[in-house]
Amino acid sequence: MKKSHSIDMCNGSLADKLLFFALPLMASSLLQLLFNAADVVVVGWFAGKEALAAVGSNTALINLLINLFVGLSVGTNVVVSRDLGAGRYDNVGRSVHTAMTLALASGTALMVLGVLMVRQLLEWTSSPTDVIDLATVYLRIYFLGMPANLVYNFGASILRAQGDTQRPLYFLTFAGVVNVILNLVFVVSFSLDVAGVALATIISQYISAALVVRCMLREQGPLHLELKRLGLQKNVVLLILKVGLPAGFQGVVFSLSNVVIQSTLNSFDDAVLVAGSAASANIENFVYMSMNAFHQAAISFVGQNYGAAKCDRVDKVGWQCAIYASLFGLVFGNLVYLFGAPLAGIYAPGEPEVIRQALIRMSYIACPYFICGIMEVLVGVLRGLGSSVIPMAVSIVGVCGLRLLWVAAVFPLHPTPSCLYLSYPVTWSVTALFHFLFLMLVVRRHAFSKVRSSGPAYLATEGHHPDIS
């Protein structure tokens, strides 16, 4: 293992190491968002508000379809982190090869599903009639990049398990520059509109996937990838699914609730409203990713320290990640609203009504976004401890269930976009509270008592990865 690309998560101070881990990851996540943001900006500038709505309104649907599989990369991170912390390097090798095989197979399946079902999916989500044809073209091409999307996400998750968040940043920087250049070439020079930005996105995704695979092929430690060893090992798949499948389903639940909100917005049949919401959502995603970096840090740091039976250090990781996520959410969320008009103007130049609609959404979502950051860190701690079913169940009730109830019971009393947006901070607050109660009163007590009585041997027994849920 190359020490220059790893972090000793189990010893020494935590505050600086968490930042050293999270900041490159944050930058990587922001660059990944730029893939979609560049699409939205280019079509907003050169193809009009219908194309902007067609591209921007697809985010919730895309996330709904890929989150189940991306959740499996979370399971991979937990499994690899735990084994690295406990020094079980043979297990790490098996997990690496199984995970990359799973990524390729899942991405291919998702590509086929997306290409065949995209028009029907858009109709089910009430895509506005004046943008559905353009949205169909964009999504059909976008889903051709799903194998690369998942291979990159799984590979980057494996690298993060040893604290390597820098090399994925380099890969995405290069791919992001290519994406922006190709956006301009395809849209401005060849007038391909939504098809052009979709092509630019999938080309950049295949570049980032190729770079992360090349990195793992050249890795000298336990994360080394050998193509001839690719394959699925049943026991490893089950361990990944044990944490990853509930995590992925939780992501689906979040996205499903967002699709419900998007569908309700679409029911206004107002392209200006949809475009404003799409512009705001893209800007908000940058705030979310700044906080989500500490969710990812919590998974890796908790996983390694729990694998090493260092329970006191697990507590410190949780608190420090929550503090960092809150600070980043408060600062960036309110800065986004303060500079909301010029930021939204990047997506919709010369469209004052689109900008006004974007600002309305930001006031309800961007400003209190730090609550979502706390919620995400709590989920990361739970997953790092091996508990994935509990946060999934809480999210089904606290996020999806409450938002559906809000749309059915509260929205009819106040049928405005603002009423829909208010559902976000309300559901974040309720869900975060229940995650905290389950963590402190159930999961933490059970997990720590087992480790303190048996030590790391408890976690090593038959490759055991406890999930009490």
pLDDT at 222: 82
The pair of three-digit structure tokens given for residue 238, joined into one six-digit string: 């089950």
Q: Can you tell me the mean pLDDT for 195-216? A: 90
- The number of beta carbons lying within 10 Å of the beta carbon of residue 39 is 28
CA torsion sign for 12, 316, 395, 393 is positive
* Cα 277 to Cα 316: distance, rounded to the nearest angstrom: 38
The pair of three-digit structure tokens given for residue 223, joined into one six-digit string: 């994360």
137-152: pLDDT as tens digits: 888 888 899 999 899 9
Q: Is the pLDDT of residue 1 over 60?
A: no
According to the per-residue pLDDT averaged within each range, which of 74-78, 166-170, 401-405, 431-435 is highest? 431-435
What are the residue ranges of helices labelled H in 186-310?
193-218, 234-266, 271-307
pLDDT at 362: 92
Q: Is the pLDDT of residue 180 over 60?
A: yes
pLDDT at 123: 76
Q: HSE of 56 in the Cβ direction (CA atoms, 13 Å)?
A: 35
Which residue shows structure tokens 């420090």? 320
**Residues with Cβ within 8 Å of residue 350, at least 6 apart in sequence:** none
Give the pLDDT band of residue 231 (cuts 50, 70, 90): confident
Give the pLDDT band of residue 469 (cuts 50, 70, 90): very low
Q: Is the pLDDT of residue 154 over 80?
A: yes
Q: Can you tell me the mean pLDDT for 198-219? A: 90
Mean pLDDT rounded to a whole number for the chain: 81
86-104: pLDDT as tens digits: 677 777 888 888 888 988 9
pLDDT at 283: 86
pLDDT at 450: 65
Residue 435 burial (C-beta neighbours within 10 Å; 0-12, 13-18, 19+): buried
Give the pLDDT band of residue 458 (cuts 50, 70, 90): very low
**Contact of 381 with 318, CB cutoff 8 Å:** yes
Helices and strands (H, E) in the chain, number of each type? 19, 0
Q: Can you tell me the mean pLDDT for 329-353? A: 87
pLDDT at 335: 93
pLDDT at 333: 93
What 8-state DSSP symbol labels residue 269? -
* Cα 425 to Cα 327: distance, rounded to the nearest angstrom: 17
pLDDT at 46: 65
14-18, 86-90, 388-392, 406-410: segment of lowest average pLDDT: 86-90
Give the pLDDT band of residue 463 (cuts 50, 70, 90): very low
Q: Is the pLDDT of residue 401 over 70?
A: yes
* Cα 371 to Cα 345: distance, rounded to the nearest angstrom: 27
Q: Can you tell me the mean pLDDT for 104-132? A: 81
pLDDT above 70 coverage of the chain, percent: 85
Backbone angles phi, psi at 325, to 5 degrees: -60, -40
- Which of residues 294 and 386 earns the better pLDDT score? 294
Q: Is the pLDDT of residue 49 over 80?
A: no
Which residue ranges make up each domain of the chain? 15-463
pLDDT at 2: 43
pLDDT at 368: 92
Q: Can you tell me the mean pLDDT for 59-86? A: 73
Residues in the chain: 469
Catalogue the E-assigned strands of 76-169. none
Q: Can you tell me the mean pLDDT for 60-82? A: 73
* Cα 258 to Cα 290: distance, rounded to the nearest angstrom: 20
pLDDT at 466: 42
186-195, 254-263, 338-347: segment of lowest average pLDDT: 254-263
According to the per-residue pLDDT averaged within each range, which of 84-88, 126-130, 231-235 is highest? 231-235
pTM equals 0.75
Q: Is the pLDDT of residue 179 over 90?
A: no
pLDDT at 161: 80
pLDDT at 462: 39
Q: Can you tell me the mean pLDDT for 48-55? A: 68
Q: Is the pLDDT of residue 321 over 90?
A: yes
Q: Can you tell me the mean pLDDT for 369-390? A: 87
